[in-house]
A and B are shown apart, each in its own frame.
Chain A
């Protein structure tokens, strides 16, 4: 049996009386694109932040290549990750190319400015943005362009693992389709392991190899995306078909 790239073992996380994660068990294999779905407030983002060490689980373990994610040098740890944030999280005091090349301008991956800029422009091209965008500031870009710049920044240092937090939130359906297609292409060509959090079912179908649904702090269902439509699970059926009636309470 091959070693999973990311493994959640009985992960718990609470905020006061709000028990968000209540024993998450999940594995993501190398090169696999896993999409996590679930209602608002079910702990999807918390799960992602726990992997990155932005939050510490109360109980349980998160393993990366079989080793606890909290072990070792943090800089080396983060050098293996790329992340596309929900709102882009671009640094508004920097130009687009400086955002994309942020990691290449400092720290262990530092290289000459001209080389970092060339890589940034290449990555911007990869996400469909022209060179002239490089010298603009994030505030001068549309929402879709900001998402693409965020994507370019996430892949700038060729990470092994990429996280996508609600990659299509706030975008029109056409731009959502473009971002979904880009994510799928990039993950495939880089051979990276991807973990995506989304509510958008078109994203799920475009990006996922496998899907996991979180409900009540646990993984309710997981399996290949092709099996999602005939899972027989009433919770998953209600969610993917966007029905107000069903076992998931509409008002939480």
Chain B
């Protein structure tokens, strides 16, 4: 093999492998979306997943938000002091939380918690033939396993992020008032005055998209898990990594669409 071929062949193989993976994920996504609208619907499973993915993710999202809001207040106060602009702390904390940090950090934290557990659960089901058993029991695994998880994450993430936004702003407020000496009433007034509804709405739309992506990645890697403990472990890792990368990519694309003039 000549040196040029030796250089290009692995690049070609990698490119083909990436394109094939994108194709498989796109087909999986299309199948998932089509099953959302076609009966039978497993409402009880959806409620179970809403509880598991949504409610039980509240502590991790809340803790992430409060410390992020608090750290953000400190940073902006410090940075703003260079321009005698300490008063921008409340508005920038609020805008930063609801537009960017709330959905992105919330999405990444939930990806770590949910995409991994979904991939491990479905991967174990695949390895132990539980998914084959579902098929023989006249139940479509896409409808019974994937759709409730993807739907639950898509519905729960905006609620989680809304709560996280409020907690994050509260974190900034607590630091601003108790540590930085900002006036309590002025802080709240500034937060309310500078925040517009599109700031909040855009963050919640992002959250819904992130929820969809992270659950989709968990389900995709779990359903296509390799054999044995190693296969399930790899599926779990791939689910978290791909969900995180997709969240960051989707965030940039949506930010461009929503805010670039």
A binds B: yes
With A87-B128, A87-B129, A89-B130: A103-B138 Cβ-Cβ less than 8 Å: yes
Scan A70-82; emit 1 where CB is below 8 A from any B CB, else 0.
Answer: 0000110011011
Is A106 a contact partner of B129 (Cβ separation < 8 A)? no
- Residue-wise, chain B 123-146 has the 8 Å CB interface mask toward A (1 for contact) of 001001110110111110000000
Complex interface residues of chain A between 34 and 80 (CB less than 8 A to chain B): 49, 52-54, 74-75, 78-79
> B135 to A52, Cβ gap below 8 A?
yes
How far apart are A131's CB and chain B's nearest CB, in angstroms? 23
| Contact pick for A83, options B42, B128, B133, CB 8 Å | B133
Interface assignment of B40: CB less than 8 Å from any CB of chain A? yes
The 8 A CB mask of A127-167 against B (1 = contact, 0 = none) is 00000000000000000000000000100000000000000
With contacts A106-B40, A106-B42 taken as known, whether A91 is within 8 angstroms of B130 at the C-beta atoms is yes
Supposing A83-B133, A106-B40, A106-B42 touch, asked if A89 and B139 sit within 8 A by C-beta, the answer is no
Contacts of A78 in B (CB 8 A): 135-138
The answer to whether B133 and A79 touch across the interface, beta carbons within 8 angstroms, is no
Interface contact tally, CB-CB below 8 A: 49
- Place the interface of chain B in its size category: 10 to 19
| Residues from chain B with Cβ under 8 Å of A108 in the complex | 138
Q: In residues 80-94 of chain A, which contact B (Cβ within 8 Å)?
A: 81-83, 85-87, 89-92
Verify if A102 is at the interface (C-beta below 8 Å from B).
Answer: yes
Q: How far is the CA of A170 from the CA of B136 in the complex (A)?
A: 23
- Which B residue's beta carbon lies closest to that of A86? B129
Pairwise interchain contact B138-A107, C-beta atoms closer than 8 A: yes
User: Which of A53, A89, A108 has its CB near the most chain B CB atoms (within 10 A)?
Assistant: A89
User: Given the complex of chains A and B, what is the CA–CA distance between A106 and B135 in angstroms?
Assistant: 13
A41 → chain B closest CB, angstroms: 14
> In the complex, which residues 86-122 of chain A have their Cβ closer than 8 Å to any Cβ of chain B?
86-87, 89-92, 102-103, 106-109
* Residue from the set B40, B125, B128 with the largest chain A CB neighbour count within 10 Å: B128
Which chain A residue shows the least CB distance to B125? Answer: A91
Q: Which residues of chain A from 175 to 211 have a CB within 8 Å of any chain B CB?
A: none
Question: Are A102 and B137 closer than 8 Å at their CB atoms?
Answer: yes
CA distance A170 to B130 in the complex (A): 18
A18 to chain B minimum Cβ distance, whole angstroms, is: 15
A52 to B133, CA, bound (A): 11
Interface residues of B (CB under 8 A from A): 40, 42, 125, 128-130, 132-133, 135-139
A to B CB contacts below 8 Å, 26 in the list: A52-B135, A52-B136, A54-B132, A54-B135, A75-B138, A78-B136, A78-B138, A81-B136, A83-B133, A85-B129, A85-B132, A85-B133, A87-B128, A87-B129, A89-B128, A89-B132, A90-B130, A90-B133, A91-B125, A91-B130, A102-B137, A103-B138, A106-B40, A106-B42, A106-B139, A107-B40
